[in-house]
Amino acid sequence: MSTRHILLGLLAAGPSHGYDLKRRHDERFPQARPLAYGQAYTTLQRLVRDGLAEVEGTDSDGGPERTLYRSTDAGSRELTRWAGEISPPAPFVTNEIFAKVVVSILASADPAAYLAAQRAAHMARMRELTTLKTAPHADLATVLSADYALNHLDADLRWMTATADRLTTLTAEVDSA
């Protein structure tokens, strides 16, 4: 996910402080990794440097001085370009689970036991996400984010089942190489 574009999108609603942008990021993208304050401010500085955002002013409201940022016309154009760009499917898939299965075979460990433990961890996370999305006051962003994660976890589970069914063949291939 492009932090610079997400911040530009949040700035499209109007000028904001870095603190507010970080908070809104975490609210709007509940299943994403929370945005670190340092990352928010570093990204804002880069947006200013690149002419995509600018400092509108500072205020303190009785507390520490806070900088107010706003998107520029160039920032709006960049956001529109990025939002309309089709995200290509990844040409290479890095799968840590697959790597651990192969390493388990290489290390004469038990890849079936690893897959069973990983499956249990996935199932536990799926239960957490289901509880989250079916909570009485869950907002649509939470539901959609949880659905996205659940679909990916489900795909992993299907892959783990297929891999477990083929472990004998995979082990023979790995051992013969």
pLDDT digits (tens, 9 = 90+) for 55-82: 998 887 777 778 999 999 999 999 999 9
Q: Which long-range contacts (CB under 8 A, 24 or more apart) does 115-118 make?
A: 115/160, 115/163, 115/164, 115/167, 116/164, 118/160
Give CA–CA dist 38/51, Å, rounded.
Answer: 20
What percentage of the chain has pLDDT greater than the value 70?
A: 97
Helix 111-133 to helix 167-176 angle, to the nearest 10 degrees? 130
Give CA–CA dist 167/173, Å, rounded.
Answer: 10
Q: Which long-range contacts (CB under 8 A, 24 or more apart) does 81-84 make?
A: 82/2, 82/5, 82/8, 83/5, 83/9
3-class secondary structure, 125:
helix
pTM score, two decimals? 0.70
Beta bridge partners of 54: 70
Helix (H) or strand (E) holding 32: none
- The whole-number pLDDT of residue 110 equals 92
Residue 124, pLDDT > 90, answer yes
Q: DSSP letter at 57?
A: E
- The whole-number pLDDT of residue 63 equals 72
Is the distance from CB of 58 to CB of 66 less than 8 angstroms? Answer: yes
